[in-house]
Amino acid sequence: MSSPATALAYTPTQPGLPRVLMADDHNLILDALGALMSSDFEILTVDSCDSFLSAVDEFKPDVAVLDVNMPGGDGFSTARKVLDSRPDLPIVFLSMYTDSSYIDQAARVGAKAYLSKHVPAQELVSALRSVLDGNSLLEDRTDPSGSSSTAGKADLTARQREVLRLIAAGSTAKDIANSLNISVRTAEFHRAAIMQRLGLHSTAQMTRYAIANELS
């Protein structure tokens, strides 16, 4: 794993693994996530918008993780610049801000996911795998008139409500996969999507939500 720095003339160290470019202004977060995910991905970390833009050209990532607030600019404008030249690059925002306005802005920019820094590292891994498979955690966040949707029971798809009911009943991702005849990865994707749409950060919160909305 590379230390946060401007990425130039990058030489791959783990050929064959998906390349993840991670940008954050906190080196501790970069180091921790890089270490946790190094067996699954080829990771390059940078700590500024300028470094991020350079790394997109030099590292040629398969997916990019970006914070909202970054030295040298903001994540949204940086994402726009990148997607102008690399519209095929999946971008995932990882931020401490969970207000729906940030999530909606990420969707408008063209990001594939917006995750809270409160989620477990495995949720980020699942999200990265999902967007690499062509999925999006930010689909259908606006109605046909262009206004933002609000978090709530109506904001979930029928399948997501099924998954939420099973989660509230104590089912694991493997249990959900077996019950719904889907893959474990797809079950994890649905779990992450539900948390994203409802702004929830734990199984306990999802269970309380399911009970409060008579989904359990």
pLDDT in tens, 73-91: 889 999 999 999 999 999 9
Question: What percentage of the chain reaches a pLDDT higher than 90?
Answer: 33
Which three-class secondary structure state does DSSP give residue 80?
helix
Beta bridge partners of 23: 46, 66
Token output for 22: 């991670």
Domain 19-132 belongs to what topology?
A: Rossmann fold (3.40.50)
d(CA 187, CA 129): 12
Residue ranges of the chain assigned to CATH 3.40.50.2300:
19-132
Q: How far is CA 179 from CA 160, 165, 172, 174, in A?
A: 13, 12, 10, 9
Q: What element of type H or E holds 32?
A: helix 27-37
Residue ranges of the chain assigned to CATH 1.10.10.10:
153-212
| Cα dihedral across residues 193, 70, 16, 3: positive or negative | negative
Q: Directed axis angle between helix 75-85 and helix 49-59, to 10°?
A: 20
* For residue 185, pLDDT beyond 70: yes
* For residue 36, pLDDT beyond 60: yes
Please state whether the predicted TM-score (pTM) of the whole model is above 0.75: no
Bin 27: left if φ > 0, else alpha if -120 < ψ < 50, else beta: alpha
Q: Which CATH number fits domain 153-212: 3.30.1010.10, 3.40.50.1820, 1.10.10.10, 1.10.10.60?
A: 1.10.10.10
Query: Do residues 41 and 21 make contact, with C-beta atoms less than 8 angstroms apart?
Result: no
Q: Directed axis angle between helix 158-168 and helix 173-180, to 10°?
A: 130
Q: What is the mean pLDDT of residues 172-183?
A: 90
Q: How far is CA 46 from the centre of its chain?
A: 17
Token output for 112: 């594939």
Query: Do residues 164 and 205 make contact, with C-beta atoms less than 8 angstroms apart?
Result: no
Q: What is the mean pLDDT of residues 148-164?
A: 67
Confidence of residue 149 (pLDDT cuts 50, 70, 90): very low
Mean pLDDT rounded to a whole number for the chain? 81
